[in-house]
């Protein structure tokens, strides 16, 4: 590689000036003195790599103590490493202290939160604020269906697959309530309401074995289920501004003295479950935070956050399939198209979400042009009747989700409640029913 004229000129000037000054080696010539005597500018040196680069390349100092130089470099690198590490910790400590001081100053510790009621109030009043910019109102929706309270499932008869009774039912419902209370808690200040959809088969009924022991007397079924729902709603009112309960009977709650015993083809509301719904509305008649809604029609037409929603049990009117065997998506889509076509023909808003239960298997899907479908799971799990027709797997599951102005169904969760079966903690949320004929004072 040929050297440029400027490099040659600079090298020659360094050599001549150092000789004229009588320096022992050109590397001893200071840069400032060179610039003064050579009449060259700083910029000219930068163009060829700088003064020190020229000296090191063309006038290397050969009498170096290389070992000493390396030792100095190693020690310098070690010191730099220690200083960087120490400086990083110092910076972290300062930032952490500043951050903790800022955040802890916002927290008010109140001794009353050691009390259960005060704790619930504290959580209600001190919810973590939502992320900045997100101020849209929201609603939590939970479907309670196929809970079959009043059914007794003998674990031995099912070969250990499942067990169900009033104690286990209380614990599963208690876990569901606790999950709802903590669900999306970081946005709780934006939640206007909790909507509970009682979508049928909330009691075991007397449609299979009317003599027992699989099914309790209908009086105990209705009383016990009512007792559980009163406790559940009272618990959840501590966590939400209001609670709205939408009620529909299922096929298990139907009365059996009618000619059409297989299905309630008309007057479906003439059901043991509707007796319970009326009693539930009486309990909360004077509570401004709770609304209980029923319907003579075999479905509920509800609007939540501006979205029109259909809710029914799923055995009739909006039939979704056979229990534990199949879910007919093509048939479901056809029913949705027909129902929404009728709504559009009348100038009404179409339904955006269809909710049902009945088949005991949770399904969350979408059909047609953006219509969502939620089929809830069950609380009871597999029972002796299901086992007798070859259904060996029915995982106790209930579905919850969040509805916003934009999304009829946003974030969703399936609550697998069987893990609560042996957990006595949930007895403090739902006290197990003990076949009493009058409500306990605690309610």
Which tokens in the block code for residue 232? 């559940």
Q: What are 264-276's pLDDT values in tens digits?
A: 667 888 899 999 9
Which H helix or E strand runs over 101? helix 66-104
CA atoms within 13 A on the CB side of 73: 6
123 pLDDT above the threshold of 60: yes
Of residues 179 and 96, which shows the higher confidence score? 179
The pLDDT of residue 425 is: 95
CATH architecture of 133-428: 4-Layer Sandwich (3.60)
Model pTM score = 0.69
124 pLDDT above the threshold of 70: no
71 pLDDT above the threshold of 90: no
Is 373 within 8 Å of 311 (Cβ atoms)? no
Helices H / strands E in the chain, number of each: 11, 13
Domain boundaries, the chain: 5-58, 133-428
- % of the chain exceeding 90 in pLDDT: 44
- R_g (Cα) of the chain, nearest Å: 38
Residue 146: which residues within 8 A CB-CB, separation 6 or more? Answer: 200, 201, 250, 357, 358, 360, 376, 377, 378, 379, 380
Is 323 within 8 Å of 359 (Cβ atoms)? yes
Is 3 within 8 Å of 54 (Cβ atoms)? no
Report residue 317: phi and psi, to 5°: 65, -65
The pLDDT of residue 261 is: 58
Q: What average pLDDT does the chain have?
A: 84
Residue with tokens 């009058």: 438
Of residues 40 and 169, which shows the higher confidence score? 169
Which of 239-253, 335-349, 376-390 is predicted least confidently?
376-390
Selection from 152, 201, 217 nearest residue 377 by Cα: 201
């Amino acid at each position: 590689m040929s050297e440029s004229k400027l490099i040659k000129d600079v090298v020659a000037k360094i050599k001549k000036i150092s000789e004229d000054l009588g320096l022992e080696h050109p590397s001893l010539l200071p840069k400032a003195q060179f610039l003064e005597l050579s009449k060259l500018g700083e910029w000219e040196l930068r163009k060829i790599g700088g003064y020190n680069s020229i000296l090191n390349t063309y006038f290397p100092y050969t009498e170096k103590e290389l070992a000493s130089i390396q030792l100095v470099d190693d020690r310098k690198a070690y010191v730099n490493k220690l200083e960087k590490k120490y400086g990083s910790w110092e910076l972290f400590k300062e930032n952490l202290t500043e951050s903790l001081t800022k955040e802890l100053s916002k927290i008010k510790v109140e001794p009353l939160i050691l009390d259960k009621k005060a704790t619930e109030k504290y959580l209600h009043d001190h919810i973590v604020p939502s992320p900045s910019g997100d101020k849209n109102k929201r609603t939590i929706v939970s479907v309670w269906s196929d809970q079959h309270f009043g059914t007794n499932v003998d674990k031995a008869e099912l070969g250990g697959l499942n067990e169900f009774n009033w104690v286990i039912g209380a614990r599963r419902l208690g876990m569901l309530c606790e999950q709802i209370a903590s669900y999306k808690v970081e946005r709780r200040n934006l939640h206007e309401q909790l909507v509970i959809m009682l979508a049928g088969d909330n009691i075991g009924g007397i449609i299979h074995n009317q003599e027992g022991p699989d099914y309790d007397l209908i009086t105990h079924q209705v009383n016990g289920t009512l007792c559980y729902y009163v406790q559940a709603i009272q618990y959840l009112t501590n966590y939400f501004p209001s609670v709205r309960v939408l009620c529909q009977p299922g096929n298990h709650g139907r009365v059996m003295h009618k000619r059409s015993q297989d299905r309630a083809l008309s007057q479906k509301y003439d059901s043991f479950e509707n007796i319970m719904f009326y009693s539930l509305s009486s309990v909360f008649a004077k509570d401004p935070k709770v609304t209980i809604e029923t319907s003579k029609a075999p479905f509920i037409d509800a609007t939540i956050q501006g979205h029109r929603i259909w809710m029914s049990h799923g055995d009739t009117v909006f039939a979704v399939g056979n229990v534990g065997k199949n879910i007919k998506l093509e048939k479901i889509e056809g029913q949705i198209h027909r129902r929404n076509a009728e709504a559009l023909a009348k100038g009404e808003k179409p339904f955006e979400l269809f909710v049902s239960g009945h088949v005991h298997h949770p399904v969350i899907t979408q059909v047609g042009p953006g219509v969502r479908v939620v089929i809830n799971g069950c609380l009871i799990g597999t029972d002796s009747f299901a086992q007798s027709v070859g259904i060996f797997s029915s995982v106790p599951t209930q579905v919850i989700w969040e509805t916003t102005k934009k999304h009829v169904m946003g974030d969703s969760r399936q609550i697998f409640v069987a893990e609560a079966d042996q957990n006595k903690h949930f007895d403090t949320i739902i006290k197990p029913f003990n076949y009493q004929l009058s409500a306990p004072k605690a309610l």
